[in-house]
Chain A
Amino acid sequence: MVAEQVEMKKSGPGAARDGPGLSILVGKAKEVIQQAIVDPLTYLANWGRIYSLWPVHLETACCSIEFGAVSGPRFDCERYGILEAFGSLRQCDLVVVHGTVTRKMAPRLRWIYDQMPEPKYCIAMGACSITGGVYFDSYNVLPGVDQVVPVDVYVPGCPPRPEELIDAFLLLQDKIRKQKIR
Chain B
Amino acid sequence: MSIPAEAGLYTQAVDDDKLTVSIGPQHPGAGHFRFTITVEGDTIVDAVPDPGYVHRGAEKQTEYRNYLQSIPMLERSSLTDVTNIIMPYSMAAEELMGIEIPPRAKYLRMIMSENQRILSHLYWMAIQGIFLGHSTSFMWPMGDREMFIDLGQILGGARVTYSFAIPGGVRNDLPEEFKGRAIKTFNHFERRLVDYERIFYNNPLFLKRTQGVGVLPRKEAISLGVVGQTLRASNVKSDVRIDEPYNFYKEMDFEVPSFDTCDTWARCMVHLIEMRQSMKIMRQCLDKMPSGPVRAKLSPQQRTIVGEAYTRIEAARGAMSFHIISDGSTKPYRVKISVPSMRNLIALPRLLIGSHVADMPAIYWSLDYWPVEADK
Contact = CB atoms under 8 A, between A and B. Distances in A.
Check A-B contact in the complex, CB < 8 A. yes
Interface of A: 56-62, 64-66, 68-69, 71-74, 86, 89, 100, 102, 104-105, 108, 112, 134-135, 137-141, 158-159, 161
A60 B60 contact: no
B56 A138 contact: yes
A68 B58 CA distance: 24
A73 B160 contact: no
Nearest to A64: B32
B98 interface: no
A57 B72 CA distance: 27
A132 to B, nearest CB: 10
Nearest to B27: A57
Given A60-B32, A68-B142, A135-B73, A140 B26 contact: no
A66 to B, nearest CB: 7
A161 B157 CA distance: 13
A56 B30 CA distance: 13
B142 A108 contact: no
A138 B57 contact: yes
B52 to A, nearest CB: 5
- For the residues of A in contact with B, the DSSP-based class is loop
30 contacts: A58-B25, A59-B31, A60-B32, A62-B54, A62-B76, A64-B31, A69-B146, A69-B149, A72-B138, A73-B142, A73-B146, A74-B142, A102-B53, A102-B55, A104-B52, A105-B32, A105-B53, A135-B56, A135-B57, A135-B61, A137-B61, A137-B64, A138-B56, A138-B57, A138-B60, A138-B61, A139-B57, A140-B56, A158-B76, A159-B79
Contacts of A62: 54, 76, 78-79, 372
Interface string B113-134: 0000000000100110010000
A62 B61 CA distance: 18
Contacts, number: 103
B145 A141 contact: no
A68 B26 contact: no
Given A108-B24, A140-B57, A61 B160 contact: no
Given A59-B32, A89-B26, A135-B73, A65 B143 contact: no
Nearest to B50: A104
B99 to A, nearest CB: 26
Contacts of B73: 134-135
Given A138-B61, A159-B79, 7 more contacts: A58-B25, A68-B142, A72-B126, A73-B142, A137-B61, A138-B60, A140-B55
